[in-house]
Structure 1
Amino acid sequence: MKARVTVMPKAGVLDPEGKAIGRALAGLGFQGVDEVRAGKVFELDLAETDPAKARAVAEEMARKLLANTVIESFRVEVG
């Protein structure tokens, strides 16, 4: 079963990569971009066939390794 874990900086946490991307977009002439937040996406191919169990496994992976839960939040999609 496929699982996607999206990891993003929590609100209020400084995001220097997002700021740099925002400045670069402005430098390229893109207007109207108020804020850029940079994150990570992990696509997992799990052996688990039960969607609820696959979600639980992916969430555990995110908590233990994929996200720094002090400064990052994560979202899991299974399908």
Structure 2
Amino acid sequence: MHARIFVTLKNGVLDPQGQAIEGSLSSLGFEGVDAVRQGKIFDVKLEETDHEAAKEKLAQMCEKLLANTVIENYSIEIVD
């Protein structure tokens, strides 16, 4: 089974990298970009065949390592 985990900063958390990207886009002539927030994507391949068990295992991975839940949110998508 293949899963994708999206980790993003929570609303209200400063995102200097996103702000730098936003400024660079403007400098390159891409007008109309109001805000950019950066994040991380993890592609994980599991031997698990049960979708609910896989989501539970992936959530535990996020809580323990992949996301800093104080300042980040995460979402899990089972791809196949």
Q: TM-score, normalization: structure 2? A: 0.96
Alignment-mate amino acid for residue 53 of structure 2: K
User: Which 5+ residue runs of structure 1 have no aligned equivalent?
Assistant: none
Q: State the one-letter code of the partner of 2:32.
A: G
Q: Secondary structure at the match of 1:56?
A: helix
Residue identity opposite 2:47 in structure 1: A
Partners in 1 of 2:56 and 2:14 — Cα distance?
Answer: 29
- Quote the offset at 1:75 in angstroms: 0.3
- The alignment status of 1:46 with 2:42, answered yes or no, reads no
Task: State the Cα RMSD in Å.
Answer: 0.6
Structure 2 unmatched ranges of 5 or more:
none
Q: Measure how far apart 1:4 and its partner are.
A: 0.7
What is the TM-score of this pair, normalised by structure 1? 0.98
Q: Which runs of 4+ in 1 moved over 6 A?
A: none
Aligned equivalent of 1:61: 61
Quick one: which amino acid aligns to residue 19 of structure 2? Answer: K
User: Share of identical aligned residues, percent?
Assistant: 52
1:70 is aligned to 70
CA–CA distance in structure 2, aligned partners of residues 56 and 73 of structure 1:
16
